[in-house]
Chains A and B, each alone.
Chain A
Amino acid sequence: MTPEPTVRHLIVLRFIALALLVIVTSAIGFGSGCKTQTTAPVVGGATTNAVRAWATGLVLTFSAPPTSRTLELLSAAGAQTRDGELVFVLERYDRSNAAQNDAIEAALREGATLTGTP
């Protein structure tokens, strides 16, 4: 049964509105895949006007299992193990925290590499 003219008009208008919505959102990046973002000109490998967040914690990676003394210091500092015995994480690094500093120093003495938490 053919819809009344007013209902037909509404259906057509609905499709037009939908088509316009798709066109507009595609133009501004939604629904068309990954958003793109213009970046500032790169100078020497880094953007010049982006404020990069610094890591708030430290990852201490050993090449060999740490000594028992270092393990004690890491425990006292609240370091969490990750990926077995060779990787420890200090989630919130605090430069004034003496226990953390002792653990970090002990780890560095044993040749550990420090990196930031993701």
Chain B
Amino acid sequence: MKQSIHFGLNVVDPDAYGGWNGWLNACVNDARDMASLCARAGYQARAVFNLDVTRERARSELQSAAASLVAHDTFLLSYSGHGGRPPAWTWPGYTETLCLADGELADTALREMLAAFAPGVRVIVILDSCHSGGMSRTTSLIRAKPAFVKSASPVVVGGCAVRAPSDLAPVVEVPASVLMWSACTAEETALDGDVNGAFTASMLHVADLRTMLAQPFTWETWVEMTQAHMAKFFPAQHPVANRYGAESDWNIEIA
């Protein structure tokens, strides 16, 4: 069985972010298009948008998937929206977050959710946000506007993800096999766009090419070709693919 859930936030709740609504342009499109792509690849795909993407909703979606999937099943989560990079107690002094509608979800909290998946399950997490879930996204350069960066630090807006006990706890073991594919490095920002974010647009472009030509299309191929595409068209942004949890061969067909 292959399941996927896709979160896209063009806005967040201003009450949770000190009056900031975090407006972005292409995140809902990103989630929609990733859902369509996954459906074509054999997934049962759903999407949640904007203010419906609360921390509790994200937690329940992942818990539900973890409870229903068994060895040899695959789960894919994609997120398109703002990210935060607030100070943290732990080294290197920052933590990355996803800016959900009602507050930030720290990377450690996400890892705890992924730890609920059973051994033998493949989990793919695709994050199109700044700092791999860190700082906010800039407006697209093709609009010829100066980049305007908004920082979603909980120290500024009153969130407390960075102070959660899980930030001080040892890193949890993840029995499943995880491929986490991020739009950029921890120090970089991820570009928004008129239709899709730069990272999502690149992924979709590569997927269109490979499927149209009916060529072998594995996860590793997708990562490699997307990185090459980004290097050519968005050289300031370097996607990162991290593999952790149980060791697994990701050179397998996506569909």
Contacts and interface: CB of A to CB of B under 8 A. Distances in A.
Interface of A: 43-56, 58-59, 93, 95, 101, 104-105, 108-109, 111-116
Interface of B: 28-29, 31-33, 35-36, 38-47, 49, 72, 122, 177, 204, 208, 211, 214-218, 248-249, 251-253, 255
A54 B211 contact: yes
A10 B216 CA distance: 53
Contact of A105 (B32, B177, B211, B218): B32
A115 B44 contact: yes
A63 to B, nearest CB: 11
Contacts of A47: 253
B46 A46 contact: no
Nearest to A108: B47
15 contacts: A44-B122, A45-B72, A46-B253, A48-B249, A48-B251, A52-B253, A54-B41, A54-B255, A108-B47, A108-B49, A109-B49, A111-B46, A114-B35, A114-B46, A116-B39
A114 B211 CA distance: 18
Given A46-B253, A48-B253, A115-B45, A54 B35 contact: no
Nearest to B29: A101
Contacts of A45: 72, 252
A46 B40 contact: no
A38 B34 CA distance: 34
Contacts of B46: 108, 111-114
A116 B42 CA distance: 6
A59 B122 CA distance: 24
A52 B28 CA distance: 28
A113 B253 CA distance: 22
Contacts of B215: 51
A74 to B, nearest CB: 14
A48 B43 CA distance: 19
B249 A43 contact: yes
A35 B47 CA distance: 41
B253 A44 contact: no
A117 to B, nearest CB: 9
- Pick the most buried of A43, A56, A109, A116: most chain B CB atoms within 10 A of its CB: A116
B167 to A, nearest CB: 32
A105 B27 CA distance: 12
Contacts of A55: 39-42
A20 B81 CA distance: 69
Given A44-B248, A49-B216, A55-B42, A95 B33 contact: yes
B248 to A, nearest CB: 6
Contacts of A46: 252-253
Nearest to B208: A95
A95 B204 CA distance: 9
B39 A115 contact: yes
B122 to A, nearest CB: 7
A103 to B, nearest CB: 10
Contacts of A104: 32, 35-36
Contacts of A95: 33, 36, 204, 208
Nearest to B213: A51
B39 A114 contact: yes
A114 B218 CA distance: 22
A43 B252 contact: yes
